[in-house]
Structure 1
Amino acid sequence: MGAGAGRSTADLLSEIEDLKSKIETIHGRISEHHREMTALQGEVAQMEATRRSLLAEVERRSRPPDDVRITDHALLRYVERVFGIDVDAVRREILTDGVARCIELGASTITVKGIQFRVKYRSIVTVIGGDQKTHRKKSKAHHRGRRPERDDVNAHLADYYSPEDTND
């Protein structure tokens, strides 16, 4: 005979209810452990963030003295405030309507009065004086076998070349 053949239906139903009760108890404990685990994971994440922050601070404080530097922003503010240089006036002197138009037309280098303005992503990123050496790289257009058009760019530089200008 099979298992449970000698038991009554009432006994089997009672055992099923007992098993269901145990399942509910286990399910409750699992849910409780999930909540605890989630809380612990949050705490671990917070501790990890704190640990990373502390490690970064230790690294920052452990740098040798030769790593001490001044940012370009601080240097510019010093020149502006201590030497009394009007930085916005200098900005206007560099970024005239003609230069802006050249940038809009896609120029990557603009030369005005022997000074080169290098352009990247529609911004002047560096200035090279007439007495400084430049690294001559071939343009992408050159590599593709065509020369970039310069007539439009040069046409918009007329405001730099006024007849009364004798500083060239």
Structure 2
Amino acid sequence: MSRIGKKPVAIPSGVQVTISGQTVTVKGPKGQLAWTLADEIVPSQEGQEILLAKREDTPRAQAMWGLSRTLVNNMVVGVTQGYEQTLELVGVGYRAAMKGQALSMQLGFSHDVDIKPPAGVSFAVPKQTEIKISGIDKQLVGETAARIRRIRPPEPYKGKGVRYAGEQVRRKEGKKK
């Protein structure tokens, strides 16, 4: 029995939820998101709550039950509060700046790395060594942050690179004489 799937998803005021077949559409003050649930899950709305149930008791339905509830909850949180991911640039000469909507970074390469934000995601650079990625889709914000981090991941000897805010990088001991 899924402990997550059993919990109803609360709908805050100002949020409209539309369920048509397997598609759940959530519209709020920050935007609109839609997700098509797996066939094993039956969505329903009762008052100010969204309930999800399994069609049949199979291992896949059990797995999709908790996942579907979490995805619907992420949509509700996204259209009300939004999501934000912070990246830090660590290294001499590593810095970021905005070029219009695009993000331009100097990461020790012979050229600047320019990244255009995907639809629904925005970049902000409060400091030269800090990048804030925000949007309403949790998966898209996380994927964009991971894609930027992958350009220059932190290395274990000096710790230089792009890292998540608060990320602990395991350091290795260097050469000994």
- The TM-score, its normalising length taken from structure 1, stands at 0.20
Bigger RCO of structures 1 and 2 (CA < 8 A, at least 6 apart): 2
The structure with more helix, counted as a fraction of residues:
1
Q: Which protein has the larger Cα radius of gyration, Structure 1 or Structure 2?
A: 1
